[in-house]
Structures are given as C-alpha cells and as structure tokens.
C-alpha cells in the first residue's frame, strides 16, 4: 500500500495550479562531481532507471495526470521526461523552454569540482561559484520563466516542470521557503517538489520538497553543497 503523502496527488481544485517540480535523473557527470551548468549531458543508466521508477510511481501509485509539462531544453531533462512518460498511455502537451536551464558555470563548466576549487583559488576567488551566471541574473531568468509558465497555465490544474538541482533550490529561495535550510540542501536526482499556486491570491504554497519515495524508503536529500 502506498504511504499517503499530503498534497502529493492530482489536484482537482480549479482555483489551484499544482506544480510538480522534478529534477532530472543522474548523469555520469553528477556521479563524478563534474560541474555541468549548461553542458548538454546525457542520463546514465542510473538516471534512466530513476526516471522510469518515477514515471511508474506518478502514474501507477499516485495516479497523477498532467495538463501540460514544461522542460529545460538540455538533454538530461528531456530524457528524464521521456522515461517518465513511458508509464503514461496518454501523453500531455510538452513545452521545451531554455529558461528552465541550470545556472551557467562559465569557464569552470566541465571541470571536476576539486579542479574548479583550485582554479578559483588560483584566480583569487573565495568560491568557484563566483564564475558563470551571476546569482541575481540566474534568479531573474529562472523565476521569471516560472512566473510566465504559471501565467500561461491559468486554466490548468496540474503541470510539471523538469529542471535542475540548482534551479530548484533557487526557486525555493525565491519563495522564501523556511521549513528546511535551503542553503544546506540540494534536492536529489528525480526528486519531486510540489508547489501550489493559489490563483485568486496569486500566492505560492510549498507543499513538499524533494520527495524520493519512488526510489525506496526514506528521503534522499544531498547535504554536500559542493555537489551539482
């Protein structure tokens, strides 16, 4: 029997838009601690398995149906979506949007984490995060994309966003989510974060962060901030 998870179900309230925010499955670069950013990487075998398990869980265990799905244009997100939808006989409309990409890491994209840290120190930086897309620009780009998606989905009840770990963390920061210290966590590959948008109040309510029940018992929340 599936354990009940409040608000982890298909929404039937026309006054609410339920947003299922899904991180892509694992890539070889994830497992090797290589900084990906805008690199167009593929899922590895683990990532494919994670996405297939999520698809079965969403459709067969939770009976969740999407009115529309929005995905980052990077392959690891589109491949994750393709594996998820194998469990669905009726496919939702899909919109590919580059605004849902991860933060660009600039010159250190493709470097191993330890090499990026050494490179930053060599160039007088306190952190490798000082390279690439500026934090304010990243937040404006990503949350602006989400806001536009929500506006376009005003007549819908359930949508999914397939995106990236850093992007999801930035979204939670923008929403001022405080139940978890978002400065110290990174959501796991194929985790599901559930956010309700209350249409009349134009208010976001975070219902669930980083659910990974489809991967087994317990929660898989990464506590090493250096991981991406």
> Tokens 């210290």 appear where?
181
52 is in an annotated binding site: no
Beta strands (DSSP E) in 47-185 are 68-71, 93-96, 158-163
26 is in an annotated binding site: yes
Quick check: 217 and 36 in contact, CB under 8 A? no
25 is in an annotated binding site: yes
**Residue 146 CA to chain centroid, in angstroms?**
12
Quick check: 220 and 46 in contact, CB under 8 A? no
Please choose, from the candidates 116, 52, 112, the residue with its C-alpha nearest in 3D space to the C-alpha of residue 88: 52
Let me know if 38 is a catalytic residue.
Answer: no
Let me know if 24 is a catalytic residue.
Answer: yes
186-187/221-222 β-pairing: antiparallel
> Tokens 């075998």 appear where?
45
Give the active site residue among 24, 38, 164, 214.
Answer: 24
76 is in an annotated binding site: yes
23 is in an annotated binding site: yes
Lateral strand order in the sheet of 16-23 = 93-96, 68-71, 158-163, 16-23, 192-198, 203-211
Beta strands (DSSP E) in the chain are 16-23, 68-71, 93-96, 158-163, 186-187, 192-198, 203-211, 221-222
Give the active site residue among 60, 83, 93, 102.
Answer: 102
Active site residues: 24, 102
Binding residue numbers: 23-30, 76
Binding residue numbers for substrate: 23-30, 76
């Amino acid at each position: 029997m599936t354990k009940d998870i409040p608000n982890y179900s298909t929404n039937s309230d026309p006054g609410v838009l339920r947003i299922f925010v899904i991180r892509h499955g694992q890539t070889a670069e994830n497992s090797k601690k290589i900084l990906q950013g805008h690199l167009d990487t593929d899922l590895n075998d683990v990532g494919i398995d994670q996405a297939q398990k999520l698809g079965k869980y969403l459709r067969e265990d939770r009976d969740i149906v999407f009115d529309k799905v929005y995905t980052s244009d990077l392959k690891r997100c589109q491949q994750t979506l393709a594996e998820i939808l194998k469990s669905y006989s009726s496919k939702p409309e899909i919109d590919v949007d580059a605004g849902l990409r991860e933060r660009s890491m600039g010159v250190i994209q493709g470097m191993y984490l330890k090499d990026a840290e050494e490179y930053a120190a060599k160039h007088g930086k306190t952190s490798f995060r000082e390279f690439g897309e500026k934090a304010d620009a990243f937040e404006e780009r990503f949350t602006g994309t989400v806001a536009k998606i929500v506006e376009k989905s005003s007549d819908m009840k359930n949508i999914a966003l397939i995106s990236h770990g850093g992007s999801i963390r930035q979204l939670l920061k923008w929403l001022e989510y405080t139940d978890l210290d978002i400065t110290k966590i990174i959501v796991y590959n194929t985790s599901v974060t559930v956010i309700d948008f209350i249409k009349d109040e134009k208010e976001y309510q975070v219902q669930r962060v980083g659910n990974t029940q489809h991967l087994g018992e317990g929660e898989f929340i990464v506590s090493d901030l250096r991981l991406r």
